[in-house]
Amino acid sequence: MSLKICVAQLNYCVGDMPGNAEKIIAAARSAYADGARLLLTPELAICGYAAEDLFLRPSFIQACDDAVNRVARELAGLKGLTVVVGTPTQGDNGKGLRTKSVEVQQRHNAARVLREGRIIESYAKRELPNYQVFDERRYFAPGQGTCVFQAEDEAGSAISIGLLICEDAWFEEPARLARDAGAELLVVINASPFHVGKGDEREQMMRSRVLATGLPLIYAHLVGGQDEIVFEGRSFALQADGVLAGRAESFKENLFVAQAERSLSAINLIADTAPERSAEADLWDALVLGVRDYLGKNGFPGAILGLSGGIDSALVLAIAVDALGADKVRTVMMPSPYTADISWIDAREMAGRMKVRYDEISIVPEFEAFKASLAGEFKGLKEDTTEENIQARIRGVFLMALSNKFGSIVLTTGNKSEMATGYCTLYGDMAGGFAVIKDLLKTTVFRLARWRNEHDPYGTGRKPIPERIITRPPSAELRPDQTDQDSLPPYEVLDAILARYMENDEGVDGIVAAGFDRAIVVRVASLIRINEYKRRQAPVGIRVTHRSFGKDWRYPITSKFRA
C-alpha cells in the first residue's frame, strides 16, 4: 500500500474562520487531485493560533464549529479523503462554570477527523502547556482519550493513524497510548512558536518519541506571524528509526507531501527535504514575516520610521523593505543640534540604496521652543537627561503625526539591550505601533546587519547598510560627543549578562562566579528591575528568542526582591 499524506502548512489568520476554512478546502482539493488521501492541518487551524480570550466567547466557538461543518460539506464529494482539522470545541460536560470570580473550563483544544461529509473522530489535546507564551490552561480542559483512525490509499488499503496535538508529543504517554491502540503512524498537528534553534529542538524531541514507540511520525506545522509570535513552518517526517525522511521549507506556505509505504509490517516515509539553514537566515525571515503579517493582517497601508543614521534604525529599514517593498516604507531623518554630519549623510545614503521615500524635518525649532517655555521652571539647573528626552519626544510626536495623517504604522527601532536597561524614552523613541527588533540584543543587531549586507534573500539589493553605520560607535546623539558606553557597559559584556540574567534566570552570584564584575552585574540587574514600568508601556514586538520582553516575561513593577 502507498498512502500520500499532505500537510497544509499555511498562513492562517486568527479569527478569520471563513478565510481559514477556504484555505483548508482549497488545499484539500489540490492535494486530492495530486493523489493525497490524508490532509493534515495544524493545531487550531480553523481559528488561528492563538486566539487568546476570544476562546472565552461562546459565539467564537460556534463560529469555529460552523467553519468545520462547512469544510466537511464542501469536501463531501472527495471520496476516500480524510481531513484532520485543528479546532476548539465545547466540552461534553457543557460550558463549565463561569462567574465574576470563578471560571472552570470545559472547552478543548481539539481536532476533528472528517471524511465524506462526516466527522468520524474527535480528539482533545491531553497535555496543555502553560509556560513561556502559552496560556492553554486558562482556556482549555485537558482531554482524556486516544484517537486512532484508518486512512485508506487510492487502492483501499488502510494505515492506522495515531493523532496527537503539539504538546502531547513532548510527553511519553499520549504516543504510547496511541501505539497501544493500534497506531502504525503518528501524526502531530502543531502551533509551536519560533525562536532561534527551536526547529532543531522539535526534531530532536520528536526523534525521541519515534524511538520510544517504534513508529514513524509526521509533524504538521503552520507558518505566519500573529502579533508578537512567528511560526516558521518547517513541517517534517521521521522514519521509525529516527532518521529524517523529509522536511518542508521554513517561513513559506507549502503543501508538504509525504508518501507512506508499507513494506512487510513496517511503514516507510518518503518526502522531499529542504536544505539546512543558518541561524541568521531563520532570524531574518522571522523578522520579515512578523512585520509583513502584522501590517498585512491588521490592514496598515505601510510603515514609517525615524532614520537616524545609526545601526538600529538601519536594520529596521532593511527588514521593513524586505517585508513590504520600498513603496510602502517611508523614512524621516529628524536632526537635532547634536546630530553629526555623518549621521544624515549615512541616512540619506541608506534611503537611496533601499529606494524608499526620505524626508528631513529638523527638530531644532521645537527643541528651542520647549527650552524657552521651561526656562523659568528650570532656572539655575544644568541640562541633563530631561533635555535629551525632550528631543526624543519631539521626534515621537512628528512620527505619530505623520502616522495619524497618512495611516502608516510607526515602526520603533529599540533593541532588547535598550529595553532591558531602560536606555529608551517613554513617549519618545518608544512611541510607535510595532517594535521590530525588540527581542534582538545589540550584539545580535550588529551580527544580523553584517549578514544582511552579505545576503539578499528578497532581491531588494545587497549591502543596503552603509559600512560606517556598522563600524561607528553607537550614539543616541542627544548631547555633544555622546556614545552609548557613556551610560552602559560594553555591549559584549552587557548582552552576555542579559542572556544569563534575563533569558536564563541566573542569579547575580552565579553570573559573578562565571567571571563578570560584581558591580556591573548588580547595576544591570537593578536597571532591569527599575525599568519594568517602561517595558509595560512599550509596543508589541517580534519574539525570536526563548525569553522575550512580552508574553513570556511577567514581572511585577512593584517589588523589593533582589535576585
pLDDT band (50, 70, 90) for residue 240? very high
Cα 397 to Cα 393: distance, rounded to the nearest angstrom: 6
Catalytic positions are 43, 125, 166
Q: What is the mean pLDDT of the chain?
A: 95
Strands 329-333 and 434-435: unpaired
- Which pLDDT tens digit goes with each residue over 286-345? 999 999 999 999 999 999 999 999 999 999 999 999 999 999 999 999 999 988 899 999
Does the model's pTM come out above 0.85? yes
Q: What percent of the chain has pLDDT over 70?
A: 98
Q: What is the mean pLDDT of residues 49-67?
A: 95
Q: Of 115, 155, 109, nearest to 134 (Cα)?
A: 109
Q: What is the mean pLDDT of residues 51-76?
A: 96
Q: What is the mean pLDDT of residues 276-290?
A: 97
Q: Of 3, 77, 14, 68, nearest to 36 (Cα)?
A: 3
pLDDT band (50, 70, 90) for residue 402? very high
Long-range pairs for 93-96 at CB < 8 Å and ≥24 separation? 95/58, 96/141
Q: What percent of the chain has pLDDT over 90?
A: 90
- Which pLDDT tens digit goes with each residue over 241-273? 999 999 999 999 999 999 999 987 789 999 999
Q: Which one-letter amino acid corresponds to residue 541?
A: G
∠ CA 552-554-558, rounded to 5°: 165
Say which residues have a Cβ less than 8 Å from residue 374's Cβ, sequence separation at least 6. none
User: Which strands form 82-89's sheet, in the order they lie side by side?
Assistant: 118-124, 108-115, 82-89, 38-40, 2-9, 254-263, 266-271
- Which pLDDT tens digit goes with each residue over 365-396? 999 999 999 999 999 999 999 999 999 999 99
Cα 172 to Cα 212: distance, rounded to the nearest angstrom: 8
Q: What is the mean pLDDT of residues 43-66?
A: 96
Q: What is the pLDDT of residue 96?
A: 62
Residue owning grid cell 513559506? 252
Q: What is the pLDDT of residue 154?
A: 86
CA dist list (Å): 459 to 174, 322, 354, 451: 45, 8, 11, 15
pLDDT band (50, 70, 90) for residue 517? very high
- Which pLDDT tens digit goes with each residue over 144-168? 999 999 999 888 899 999 999 999 9
Asked if 437 contacts 316 with a C-beta cutoff of 8 angstroms, the reply is: yes
- Which pLDDT tens digit goes with each residue over 338-372? 888 999 999 999 999 999 999 999 999 999 999 99
- Which pLDDT tens digit goes with each residue over 451-471? 999 999 999 999 999 999 999
Q: What is the pLDDT of residue 163?
A: 98
Q: What is the pLDDT of residue 79?
A: 97
Q: What is the pLDDT of residue 95?
A: 59
Q: What is the pLDDT of residue 146?
A: 97
pLDDT at 93 over 70: no
Phi, psi of 358 (to 5 degrees): -135, 130
- Which pLDDT tens digit goes with each residue over 95-113? 566 676 676 668 999 999 9
Cα 351 to Cα 316: distance, rounded to the nearest angstrom: 12
**For residue 39, what are the β-bridge partners?**
6, 83
Cα 531 to Cα 307: distance, rounded to the nearest angstrom: 25
Q: What is the pLDDT of residue 263?
A: 83
